[in-house]
Amino acid sequence: MTYNLLSPTRLTAAAMALAISAPVMAEEVPEGTVLQASNIDQLQDMTFLGHRIGDMIPPGNDHLIRELDFRMNLKAPSGPLLGNAEVLRVTELHKGEAGLDDQKRLINHTTGIPFPDINEDDPDAGYKIAYNILRTGWIGDTMDLNPMYFLVIDGKKGLQREQGWRFKRYLMSGRIAEPHSEDPEIVKYESLINLYPQDTRGVGILTVNYTDARLADVYAYIKSLRRVRRLSSGAWADPISATDLLTDETFAMNLDPTWYDGWEYQGKRFILGGGDSKIKPLNLKAKNPTERFPAMRLDEAPYWNYHEDYSPQEVYVLKGIPPKSHLVGHRIMYVGTNPGAPLFWGVEHYDKKNELWRVVNISFSNGTWDNGQPGITVNMVWVADVQRLHATVLYQGADWRYNPPAKAADFTPEALPRQLK
């Protein structure tokens, strides 16, 4: 028997079937495309590095692009963001030890990322992601950001003021270095010292966070009074003077997860993030702000936008539900799935009416820590209040140090005045 498998009729039928069943391949946009208000609708269904662009724009950034001239330069990264090798080693060594008690407090954690494997069906997945961010030295056991510059920007008038601070952090528990715990009751010390402008120079703040979830101890030193005073711990979510941040939002998240009513895990997705940041340190020698902060678009309304490269980043989506007394209705956080580095790419803060209030974007890059090890570093923390048309930008300094030598004895209320000298 003879089979005419290649007859014109059969070929035509097969071709039609393939045409009907085959998926339509979305057009890939070229590297260097700038995503902005004029083309966001056109680019929605196109792809970049294989991902649909519309699927990588969270609501907050969509609003910034459409309404406030935010732009994203699409560029393939030079390589993946890599967690520090020692962080990865101790995480693997202690994997499976940490847990949560019946009050959602972290227990049995020695060092490393507490919960490196997130089970999407785990009802506590949201809490575990929050602890991953907060409770180990994935960005260094110590930090010394000197200077840490805040730009305070009015969206209608432009740059209002610059503030120079020195920020230092010392992790006491969950340390990557040995001993992994210097005091099992304390999570970390943080100090913030005002350097600029001259009329506010001499203010110092020390914060002590505890492992048992009690509210932090906060101490302030006023140089003109030459006294250290203890402040109310109840101010943990108060606005930070002259900025667009609340106290529990510094570096995206500065709290104990149990202070919130809940942390809901909402799945995984890809977003566009500044993961191979081109933002270079500020130039303190320049007098003109546009030269001092070269990444900023200070001469273009709303004066707070900046130049940055973006690429697809896989994230966990986390909903934080604060207590009713909090100013925020809820927050949506986009936390990286990178091994050994739970990067907080961005946050959307919604008010009590469930309307978008503030948007946070954070840029990272691979760098070198003070001990010579490769590690992730922060290039910019950017916060825009889209209701008030106001922004605060934390701009990278030239001498930011990750894992520098430090002593816990330098982080006591008595030592605070010495840091101002």
3-state secondary structure of 225: coil
For residues 403 and 375, give the distance between their C-alpha atoms in angstroms, rounded to a whole number. Answer: 10
Helix (H) or strand (E) holding 210, with range, is strand 203-210
Percentage helix, strand, coil for the chain under 3-state DSSP, each rounded to 5: 20, 35, 45
Residue 74's closest CA among 121, 35, 44? 35
Instruction: State the amino acid at position 402 in one-letter form.
Output: Y
pLDDT along the chain (421 residues), means of 10: 43 45 74 99 98 99 99 96 96 98 98 98 98 97 95 98 94 98 97 86 90 94 85 86 88 93 98 97 94 97 99 98 97 97 98 98 97 96 98 95 96 86 65
pLDDT given for residue 196 in this prediction: 86
Residue 54 burial (C-beta neighbours within 10 Å; 0-12, 13-18, 19+): middle
**Helices and strands in the chain, H and E counts:** 6, 20
pLDDT given for residue 354 in this prediction: 98
With contact defined as beta carbons under 8 Å apart, do 301 and 69 qualify? yes
pLDDT given for residue 2 in this prediction: 39
pLDDT given for residue 17 in this prediction: 47
DSSP of 121-179:
T-TTHHHHHHHHHHSS-TT-SEEEEEEEEEEEEETTTEEEEEEEEEEEEEE-BB-SSSS
For residues 30 and 391, give the distance between their C-alpha atoms in angstroms, rounded to a whole number. Answer: 31
The residues, ordered by sequence, that sit 6+ positions from 177 with a Cβ below 8 Å of its Cβ are: 137, 141
The tokens describing 140, both together, are 């260094």
3-state secondary structure of 180: coil
The tokens describing 281, both together, are 């340190």
In 245-347, where does DSSP find H-type helix? 289-292
For residues 174 and 141, give the distance between their C-alpha atoms in angstroms, rounded to a whole number. Answer: 9
pLDDT given for residue 22 in this prediction: 45
3-state secondary structure of 343: coil
The tokens describing 382, both together, are 């950017």
Domains of the chain, each with CATH number or no CATH: 85-420 (2.50.20.10)
Residue 163's closest CA among 203, 214, 128? 203
Residue 334's closest CA among 313, 352, 355, 310? 313
3-state secondary structure of 244: coil
For residues 87 and 166, give the distance between their C-alpha atoms in angstroms, rounded to a whole number. Answer: 26
How many CB atoms lie under 10 A from the CB of residue 321? 16
Angle at 76 between CA 74 and CA 81, to 5 degrees: 115
